Chains A and B, each alone.
Chain A
């Protein structure tokens, strides 16, 4: 009896291992293609931009230098991505939502020099954006400016400032508006921003997450979003379902780029990584930037796409908050203002 089951047992084991082998055969990954491999670790809404740009850069590099370059992408909330690079995600270049996140990589990770922002033109920001609102078609709640967000019955979608760069720009834009309106009274600004966060039902980890929450899952009446993210949705991906609303005052968002020196050097990619970022400032690079709804720095590209970008009053983070280091420390660090707002909300 037992020997019989033993044989059956053998058969089953044999079958299982054959299946395992078959799985393994299926799974053998394709051999790595030759040429240079570059990893660009970026934030959430640049997915489409860099998909376009990587193709253009590979073609450019092949034409001018003659080498094949494959650029891999990784996207997520800017703060989270910076954390991953610090923890060892092998980024040759980082293209993040705000300067503080790259500062963190320089300080905590010691992977690039602290003066990184001086190494490329325009404070290492080849494109800019701002913060706008996205509302449902026909703007049923009549949202025109920041104050309308606090109307009763309006539910607001924005991402978590702790993990998302865009969400930090959103927060600062709201704060800056409230400061200006209340003649610099920061207690009133605190109240205003705190009231906004009380009306947020879902805090996603990244900007794209909150866009899909608003557009696809149809939660909320207004999305506070990157201009590029809102344009992509209203002009292309959710055309006819959502509308862009430009507030009277907003922030000039400057998402910077940098070569992660130590990683790029280790990979032998220092030269190509630098060229990759520099080409963002070229005529073709700037055109791709504009095409993907980011505001180009280059005047020619800016003029070409000017009709896309609504004119509004913009303040910079340096003017109102004294730069990212200070803003981060006051507002987003542990036990900072944002933490107090969160605590109050509970």
Chain B
């Protein structure tokens, strides 16, 4: 069955149901599919709505809040960057240390993102499709980097790999540099960003269930074939969404990276750290120019996120529809 007709079918009985429940709110029959329930809530809200002036004030407050907290700072960055003209703005990127920090940031993202993509897919595959002992613990552990402060994440590595740390003397003996060098920055970035892909995939995969995989296995597909032809197509948009978020955070991380970096110019300064250095050295135009790169990254991320989000919603709906239809 094609997913389109399925969603059409489930959408068909919407309007009568909506009217019905508006008369008797809260009397939803158990097991109503998701989409109609949302509709019903909408009509209910409209029936008990606040006066229009109140709505307008609320919207106004929200917009003002957004404007003050998001748009004004964003504009300030670009005003600061262009304060001395476009030539000065472009000239900022000629500074070798800034150029280096851009390269280092890209390198770190190029290492951290694929690793966390692999880890995230493997972890969510295991958690969503299999039952095993300690699953809940693993699920909570994945969220750990979100729960601890980035500074603590950085300190973990200092305590582990620092000269006075657990592994420090051994590393020193073998002349391996981890913290205050690029490997430490990569490790801290991976730690900070590792929940992002898994957090995005686990709910999606759980929603999709394991029936399709089980069917594929029954039909004789190998584990790898099942993953490649059944699971991956189902999660690809969710995965891409996770990757975009991971990348944005990997390039923008400051706290954890600041702790393990050592701030050596042209050696261990990433773009966010370089922004701080430039700002502290009275190079405001250069600082804001470098910051504007990070803003562009954020805007790109937002655009990509909006596109992918739509596709994710669609693939979720497809999943729901195929369950409803089957």
Known: A28-B107, A73-B264, A216-B284. A2 touches B164 (CB 8 A): no
Q: Does B39 contact A (CB under 8 A)?
A: no
Give which listed residue, B114, B162, B230, B240, contacts A87 with CB less than 8 A. B162
Set B266, B281, B282: member contacting A72, Cβ < 8 A: B266
Report if B172 contacts A (CB, 8 A). yes
Question: Main secondary structure on chain A at its contact with chain B?
Answer: helix
Q: How far is the CA of A25 from the CA of B282 in the complex (A)?
A: 32
| Cβ of B49 under 8 Å from chain A | no
B198 interfacial contact with A, CB 8 Å:
no
Give the number of residues in B that approach A within 8 Å (Cβ atoms).
41
Interface residues of A (CB under 8 A from B): 1-3, 5-6, 8-9, 12, 16, 20, 23-24, 26-30, 39, 44, 47-48, 72-76, 84, 86-90, 108-109, 208-209, 212, 216, 237
A152→B172 CA distance, assembly (Å): 54
Residues of B within 8 A of A23 (CB): 106, 109-110
Q: List, in ascending order, chain B residues with CB within 8 A of A109's CB.
A: 163-164
B47-69 contact mask (Cβ, 8 Å, vs A): 1 or 0? 00000000000000000000000
Within 8 A of A (CB), among B263-316: 263-267, 277, 279-282, 284
| B180 lies within 8 A of A89 (CB) | yes
CB A135 to nearest CB in B, in angstroms, measures 19
Judge if B81 is at the interface, Cβ distance under 8 Å.
no
Asked whether B177 lies within 8 Å of A90 as measured between CB atoms, the reply is yes
- Of A5, A29, A39, A86, the residue contacting B164 (CB under 8 A) is A86
The answer to whether B163 touches A87, judged by C-beta atoms less than 8 angstroms apart, is yes
B135 contacts the other chain (Cβ, under 8 Å)? no
- Interface 0/1 of B165-198, CB less than 8 Å to A: 1001000100001011000000000000000000
- B280 near A212: Cβ-Cβ < 8 Å: yes
Whole-angstrom CA separation of A30 from B277 in the bound complex: 21
B107 touches A27 (CB 8 A): yes
The smallest beta-carbon distance between A169 and chain B, in angstroms, is: 19
Question: Given A24-B110, A47-B280: A88 and B263 within 8 A (CB)?
Answer: no
Q: Is residue B113 contacting chain A, with contact meaning CB distance below 8 A?
A: yes
Instruction: Report the bound CA distance from A86 to B163 in whole Å.
Output: 7
